[in-house]
A = this chain, B = another copy of it.
Amino acid sequence: MKSKLGPQRIMFPLPTALVVAGNMERSNIITIAWINMLTGLPPTLGVSIGSKGYSAELIKKNKDFSVNLASVEIMREADFCGITSGEEVDKFSATGLTKIPSDKIHSPIIQECPVNIECKLVETRMTGRTHQLVGEILQTHVDEDKIRDTKRPDSIDILSINPLIYYSRAREYWALGRKVGDAYKIGYELKQRND
């Protein structure tokens, strides 16, 4: 039996991303789970963010931002950046997270995050009162010790990345479990049976 819950905002699992806007002198960190790829050509992602906040304004002024995927190791810092405002606190000094220069954009990336994505703001869309910042990806950094072959971006060792997973409806953080199968393969037998 299924239970009807009405219109809800239920989506899981989600990544926990630390979005940085600013420059090496002054920048802010916001924690975002409502983020995903929009297209692969060119690689472009979308970040949903309240239109009234300090960060949305900063990104629109700045025209770029970095997306830094959080690991379980920095859960406290990630959560802190989600419950505080950059108008009131310098989140880099409060958390001790380390800003390092980006390659292609003004906004810095976060050393402690295993994956860092540099984005140029190419469009701002509205859904209700929420912005969607559309960012074309210009550069990607991955911790060298967490990738098996730096020539193969698909060889990132997701277990050693230890991504911080967000379950938004219950406001819970989770860790990744075990690999259960290979996509584009596990359904293939069923495909052959139907070909």
What residues of chain A have their CB less than 8 Å away from a CB belonging to chain B? 1-15, 34-46, 48, 69, 72, 75-84, 89, 94-95, 103, 115-117, 123, 125, 127-130, 132, 134, 136-145, 147, 150, 153-156, 158, 161, 163-191, 193-194
Instruction: Report which of B3, B80, B95 forms a contact with A144, defined as CB distance below 8 A.
Output: B3
Closest to A69 in B: B12
Q: Which of B9, B165, B170, B190 contacts A13 (CB 8 A)?
A: B165
Given contacts A176-B176, A194-B84, contact A36 B11 (CB under 8 A): yes
Whether the pair B187, A179 counts as a contact (CB closer than 8 A) is no
The residue from B9, B163, B181, B194 contacting A43, defined by CB atoms under 8 A apart:
B9
Q: Take A10-B117, A141-B3, A153-B5 as given contacts and tell me if A79 and B186 are in contact as well, using a CB distance cutoff of 8 Å.
A: yes
A38 CB, nearest partner CB in chain B, Å:
4
Q: In the docked arrangement, what's the CA distance between A4 and B69, Å?
A: 15
Given contacts A36-B35, A94-B190, contact A183 B169 (CB under 8 A): no
Q: Which residue of B116, B128, B145, B184 contacts A79 across the interface (Cβ within 8 Å)? A: B184
Ordered nearest first, which 9 A-B pairs have the shortest CB separation?
Answer: A79-B187, A80-B187, A39-B130, A177-B177, A175-B177, A38-B127, A171-B183, A39-B128, A2-B141
